[in-house]
Chains A and B, each alone.
Chain A
Amino acid sequence: TQLLEQSPQFLSIQEGENLTVYCNSSSVFSSLQWYRQEPGEGPVLLVTVVTGGEVKKLKRLTFQFGDARKDSSLHITAAQTGDTGLYLCAGVYSGGSNYKLTFGKGTLLTVNP
């Protein structure tokens, strides 16, 4: 069974603080995605990374894919209340079905004013 571990599970911070959330697996991904899900809505894609060592930036969000393509991190700079939500990482495993995304349990982020 391929497991995708996310940490921390819960994170509560003050507006303006920085944070990093992690996504780890013992298996290699062919690609990895990060989503944000708000209450009552479906997940919305933030980014896709495919190359080991890749770094992508989306405004205040920085995504990094590990060199071995087994892990990823999401760093948010100067968090805002609008960043509150469930952050999910999801991967397509190398050698697995290319249409099937395996999701982690997510990190529930609360940014307090």
Chain B
Amino acid sequence: ETGVTQSPTHLIKTRGQQVTLRCSSQSGHNTVSWYQQALGQGPQFIFQYYREEENGRGNFPPRFSGLQFPNYSSELNVNALELDDSALYLCASSLLVTGELFFGEGSRLTVL
């Protein structure tokens, strides 16, 4: 176990809906990164949060947004869901911006 917990583990939404995914980072870690892993693909970087600020972003549209809270837990929000958003969403915490990533088990999102 990495100490990174994600919720919910599975969820089903329909096109156009909004979803919020949650992540509790490992104790002492101040950085959270979010990745999207589509079926048969490797994880793709969405964005990273460091001390409650977005530190960097991958090639994802603005309808993917996030937050980090004072306790360093984090949320990923996706608006106007599309079928292609169906994927495993992975959260990873680290002690530093460039530190070793500890991944949670992911949230499996299915968009119908």
A contact set with B: CB distance below 8 Å: 4, 6, 40-45, 48, 88, 90, 92, 97-106
Contact flags B62-84 to A (C-beta < 8 A → 1, else 0): 00000000000000000000000
User: Closest B-chain residue to A103, C-beta based?
Assistant: B42
Number of A-B residue pairs at CB separation under 8 A: 55
Q: What CA separation (Å) do A48 and B2 show in the bound complex? A: 17
Least CB distance, B106 to chain A, in whole angstroms:
5
Contact: B90 with A99, CB < 8 Å?
A: no
6 shortest A-B CB distances, which residue pairs? A42-B103, A103-B42, A99-B97, A103-B43, A105-B42, A100-B45
Contact: A45 with B33, CB < 8 Å?
A: no
Contact: A101 with B58, CB < 8 Å?
A: no
Contact: A99 with B105, CB < 8 Å?
A: no
Contact: B56 with A100, CB < 8 Å?
A: yes
